[in-house]
C-alpha cells in the first residue's frame, strides 16, 4: 500500500527522504526541512500507523519496507532516526539501486544490547516493559515516558522534550498496534551481518550521551571514504534537537558532497 507523503522544495532538486522514530511522526524534522528545502527536495514520510498514515494497518519491518518500495522514488538519500534508521538501513540493503546515500541518526543495525557479545544497546527488558505497559488507553503516557528516556543525559533535556512535544502537538497519536509492531522491530532486527551490502555513501550520527543507542556501537560500521561517523558531544538521542546548528551543517556537508 502506498503511503502519503509531504514534499518541500524544488521537485527537480536531489531528493532526501526522512523517516522518524518510534512513537513520534515526521513533524519532528520540521526545523531541518526549512533549512534544506532551498536546495533539496525534502520528503517527509509518516510510517504506517503514524501521522498522515495513521489509518494504514500496522506492519513489522518487512511489511513497512514493501510500503516504502511502493511509495518512494528512485535515486534518493534516505535518512532515518532511531527506529527510522533501522528501516532506512533495511530499505537500503534491499534496494541498493534505488538509494544514492544513507544517513542514520541515533540508530544501530541492532537496537538491543547483547552482553554476551559485548554489544551496546538498549536493554531488551526495557522494550519488554514498554510492551507490557502499552494499552489502547495509555498510548500518550507510554510515549511521554519514552521521550524522557530519549532525552536523558542531554544537558538540555527539559528543553528537548518540550520542543519535540511542541513540534508534534497537532499530530494524531500513533495507533496502539503500530507501536507494538515497532517495539517488536526494535527488539528483533539484527542487520549487523548485512552491512557489507550497503553500497552507497553513508553517514552515521550519534550522541555521546545517548542511553538508548550508545555511540560505542558505531564501531560496527565499515570504515572507508564513503562511510562517515560523527558523534555529537552534547546530545543524547535527538542531536538534531539538542545541537541543531551543528547537525544541520554536518548533514548539509554530506548532502552537498553525495546528493548533487
State the pLDDT at residue 175: 85
Helix axes 83-94, 176-188, angle to 10 degrees: 70
Question: Which residues are the active-site residues?
Answer: 82, 210, 237
pLDDT at 222: 87
List, as one string, the DSSP characters of 17-46.
Answer: EEE--TT--GGGGHHHHHHHTTTSEEEEEP
Distance CA 131, CA 128 (A): 5
| Alpha-carbon gap, residue 137 to 125, rounded angstroms | 22
Taking phi first (over 0 means left), then psi (-120 to 50 degrees means alpha), and beta for anything else, what does residue 51 get? Answer: left
Q: Does residue 231 register a pLDDT over 90?
A: yes
C-alpha grid cell for residue 243?
Answer: 545541537
Residue 8 banded pLDDT, cuts 50, 70, 90: very high
Q: How far is CA 253 from CA 36, 103, 118, 203, 250, in A?
A: 11, 12, 33, 11, 5
Other C-beta atoms closer than 10 Å to the C-beta of 29 total 22
Q: Where are the alpha helices (DSSP H) in the chain?
A: 30-36, 61-71, 83-94, 124-133, 139-151, 157-167, 176-188, 239-242, 244-258
**Residue 223: band (very low, low, confident or very high) from pLDDT cuts 50, 70, 90:** confident
Distance CA 193, CA 157 (A): 34
Mean pLDDT of the region 180-200: 94
Question: pLDDT by residue (tens digit) across 139-149?
Answer: 999 999 999 99
Arithmetic mean of pLDDT, 87-91? 98
What burial class does residue 226 get, using C-beta atoms within 10 Å of its C-beta: 0-12 exposed, 13-18 middle, 19+ buried? middle
CA dihedral 253, 254, 255, 258 (to 10 degrees): 130
β-strands 76-81, 227-232: how paired? Answer: unpaired
**Are the CB atoms for 227 and 221 separated by under 8 Å?**
yes
- Portion of the chain with pLDDT greater than 90, in percent: 87
> Taking residues 221-246, what's their average pLDDT?
94
Q: Scan for cell 526549512, then name that residue.
A: 34
- Does the model's pTM come out above 0.95? yes
Q: Is 242 within 8 Å of 234 (Cβ atoms)?
A: yes
Q: For helices 176-188 and 124-133, what crossing angle results, to 10°?
A: 170
The model's pLDDT over 15-70, given as tens digits with 9 standing for 90+, comes to: 999 999 999 999 999 999 999 999 999 999 999 999 999 888 767 788 899 999 99
What's 198's DSSP letter?
-
What structural domains and CATH numbers belong to the chain?
A: 5-258 (3.40.50.1820)
Cell numbers at 81, concatenated: 532516526
For position 61, what pLDDT does the model report?
A: 85
Amino acid at each position: 500500500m502506498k503511503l502519503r507523503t509531504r514534499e518541500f522544495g524544488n521537485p527537480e532538486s536531489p531528493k532526501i527522504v526522512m523517516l522518524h522514530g518510534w512513537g513520534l511522526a515526521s513533524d519532528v524534522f520540521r526545523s531541518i526541512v526549512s533549512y534544506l528545502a532551498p536546495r533539496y527536495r525534502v520528503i517527509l514520510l509518516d510510517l504506517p500507523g503514524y501521522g498522515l498514515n495513521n489509518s494504514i494497518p500496522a506492519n513489522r519491518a518487512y511489511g513497512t519496507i514493501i510500503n516504502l518500495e511502493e511509495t518512494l522514488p528512485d535515486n534518493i538519500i534516505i535518512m532515518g532516526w532511531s527506529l527510522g534508521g533501522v528501516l532506512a538501513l533495511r530499505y537500503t540493503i534491499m534496494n541498493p539501486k534505488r538509494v544514492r546515500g544513507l544517513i542514520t541518526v541515533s540508530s544501530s543495525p541492532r537496537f538491543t544490547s547483547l552482553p554476551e557479545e559485548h554489544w551496546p544497546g538498549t536493554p531488551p527488558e526495557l522494550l519488554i516493559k514498554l510492551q507490557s505497559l502499552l494499552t489502547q488507553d495509555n498510548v500518550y503516557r507510554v510515549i511521554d515516558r519514552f521521550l524522557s528516556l530519549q532525552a536523558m543525559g542531554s544537558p538540555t533535556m527539559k528543553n528537548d522534550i518540550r520542543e519535540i512535544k511542541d513540534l508534534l502537538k497537532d499530530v494524531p497519536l500513533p495507533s496502539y498496534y503500530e507501536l507494538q509492531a515497532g517495539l517488536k522491530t526494535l527488539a528483533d532486527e539484527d542487520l549487523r551481518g548485512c552491512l557489507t551490502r550497503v553500497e552507497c555513501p553513508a553517514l552515521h550520527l550519534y550522541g555521546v550521551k545517548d542511553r538508548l543507542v550508545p555511540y560505542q556501537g558505531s564501531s560496527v560500521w565499515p570504515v572507508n571514504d564513503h562511510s562517515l561517523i560523527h558523534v555529537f558531544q552534547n546530545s543524547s538521542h535527538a542531536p538534531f534537537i539538542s545541537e541543531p546548528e551543528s547537525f544541520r551543517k554536518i548533514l548539509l556537508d554530506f548532502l552537498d558532497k553525495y546528493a548533487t
